[in-house]
Amino acid sequence: MENIKEKIEELRKTLKYHSDRYYLDDAPEIEDNEYDMLMRELERLEAAYPEYDDPDSPTKRVGGRADNSFESVEHTVRMESLRDAFSKEEIFDFDKKVRDTVSGVNYVVEPKIDGLSVSLEYVNGIFYRGSTRGDGDVGEDVSGNLRVIRSIPMKLKKELAYLEVRGEVYMPKKSFNRVVDNQLINGEKPFKNPRNAAAGSLRQKDSVVTASRGLDIFVFNIQQIEGAELTSHKQSLDFLKELGFNTVPFYNRCGSMEEAFGFVEKIGEMRGELEFDIDGAVIKVDDFSHRELLGSTAKFPKWAIAFKYPPEEKQTKLIDIEMAVGRTGVLTPTAVLEPVHLAGTTVSRATLHNQDFINEKGINIGDIVTVRKAGDIIPEVLCVNEKNSTGNFTFPSVCPSCGEPVVREDGEAAIRCINPECPAQLLRNLIHFCSRDAMDIEGLGPSIIEAFVDNGFIEKTYDIYHLDPDEIAKLEGFKETSANNIIASVKRSKENDLGKLVFALGIRHIGAKAAKLLADEFKDIDSIISASVDDILNIEGYGLIMAESVVEFFSGESAKQLIEELKAVGVNMKSKTVIRDNRFEGMTFVLTGTLEHYKRSEASKIIESFGGKTSSSVSKKTSYVLSGEASGSKLDKANALGVPVISEAEFEEMIKDE
């Protein structure tokens, strides 16, 4: 019995961990199907051993808990989860239980959209508030980000005293592909699937970022209503359309479970062709009076069930492995397969992740492998079914794009090319080089850089400083004035502080602040290049990995050549930081809110000129929090930790000349 108790507790711990990765971090580590099976096993054990009941068990919770980043919203009508079914037998067992309580049942079948569940509230026909589901009882207020989703009406076509509806925010596949492409360009970790992309986008602190992600919503339920009488689910969906909502795209009322399950199967056949992700189909009792009689359990309504489609898997032959160099230098293997029809599309390529994955699965060219679509989006190889090769495929020792040696750092699965002039990384490196925190070249955004690369204006980073305004003006969409503005911005960037240049070089593990620390310590680029690991470790805030990364970067011939080319065109190679005195030496400031007389960047420079440092986060080691208007969570954290908080006036007293 003790083993059973331990197994139950371990399952609860595992499910809680993966629930947090899914709901809070938007970074799941296992597939939905694996999570569902773990939940099923826990439900089975809890039913068999009720003496180990726990009110906080994952089986009794609706979803994830609310994230503290947003204000909490208490739902007056609980946002329930749905019981999942994985077989036809379970669906018909649900039907039997329904008909044991009510007669003359009709069902409505609709697709189960794979996104983030939200509540939308309207007062007198005007959008009032929007929140996430959270744990079903308490969610997060994300009204500002929901307002930028164009398909959410801010004013209803009919005025109602009060209306609360439930919907699913999702990211269309087209938007998902665009967002992932941009993430790769910027060297960011890409979202795993559209569901996590939608959740991550809806939780952005900046609604401008949310607006850029192309989110959409399907509304599928009325939670509360004042000003209209509705008696059935289908009637309510039709009514929601009349109000101006984007409802679930197709739904069907069925008079029997045979008919309902037939529509479930039809939805399953078309899911690969849809422009949005679904992870199942939902069967709901149509009549609201029947729903009242059926009621709910502690977690699920008894009048609805979700059928989850199993991930489709097929066997095929792996005929080749192509090696690509990503825009962050990571070598990524892709399996080239004999085409196979999978989840509504023809699959001929699949991800192989990295060398560790290949070794674990024992994969090589010529093997017969099992393939499936992860989240119905990205094909992946699951296992080898028939070994037709000797050994495992091995990554090349040099970059297939530039021929430079590749490296694998301790603790990392990725093998990467660190040549800053590698052609495969050119676009990403250029975008980073020109970005605001780096060389800050106004006018050279991602799309314009891409156009210049496509037209052969830029082949190496230093070509930025050889751009010809006459050639730029000949391009479609450019005029003499815009061309001259770009050249003027390029020229201004030559005068940047050395710290901005160091950050612009894109050294791994070295952010903008670390780059400035390096520049301030060694004063000029040549001193940085000749510095040893031990020299760099003397800088407060630098660890071994950061120091080794700097030395490794500047030991490469391509990096040295780039520096010489930039010197030749007049790019500043010296630190411009002037220490007026050391009154703030050893102190760390955090800036929050809006200051009246300074931009944050200006205040940061003043602090640094007195020997101090700035940080983006509050901790017990923070010396002062400089608080302006509309300060948020940083001020709250400072008060909670007992960190001194100063006003702008107090800050000005501190920086007066002595």
- Could you give the residue numbers annotated as active site? 112
The H or E element containing residue 113 is strand 107-113
The SS3 assignment for 478 reads: coil
The DSSP element (H or E) to which 602 belongs, if any, is helix 600-609
Query: Do the Cβ atoms of 586 and 624 come closer than 8 Å?
Result: no
Beta bridge partner(s), residue 155: 126
Strand ranges for 495-592 from DSSP E? 588-592
Q: How far apart are CA 39 and CA 600, in angstroms?
A: 48
Burial of 349 (0-12, 13-18, 19+ CB in 10 A): middle
- Tell me which residue of 132, 128, 133, 198 sits closest to 163, measured CA to CA: 128
CA distance 599 to 31: 45
> Taking Cα atoms as reference points, which of 170, 140, 127 lies closest to residue 79?
140
- End-to-end distance of the chain based on CA atoms, in angstroms? 74
Sheet with strand 84-85: strands edge to edge: 84-85, 304-308, 278-285, 107-113, 252-254
Evaluate whether 505 touches 496 at the Cβ level (below 8 Å).
Answer: no
Contact 331, 343 (CB under 8 A): no
Whether the Cβ atoms of residue 31 and residue 311 lie closer than 8 Å to each other: yes
Closest CA to 632 of 66, 67, 71, 25: 71
- Which of 552, 223, 237 is CA-nearest to residue 419? 552
Contact between residue 301 and residue 313 where contact means Cβ atoms under 8 Å apart: no
Instruction: Say how far apart CA 168 and CA 198 lie, in whole Å.
Output: 10
d(CA 558, CA 550): 14
Amino acid making up residue 611: G
CA distance 25 to 49: 32
Q: How many angstroms separate the CA atoms of 564 and 141, rounded? A: 52
Q: Find the Cα–Cα–Cα–Cα dihedral 558, 563, 566, 571, rounded to 10°.
A: 160
Side-by-side strand order, sheet with 613-615: 613-615, 588-592, 624-627, 645-646
Rounded Cα distance between 282 and 267, Å, is 10
Q: Which two tokens stand for residue 346?
A: 């023809």
Question: What's CA 532's distance to the chain center, in Å?
Answer: 37
The DSSP code sequence of 264-286 is: HHHHHHHGGGSSS-EEEEEEEE-
Say which residues have a Cβ less than 8 Å from residue 474's Cβ, sequence separation at least 6: none
In the numeric block, which tokens belong to residue 303?
Answer: 């009048």
Q: Which DSSP string corresponds to 189-222?
A: PPPSSHHHHHHHHHT-S-HHHHHHTT-EEEEEEE
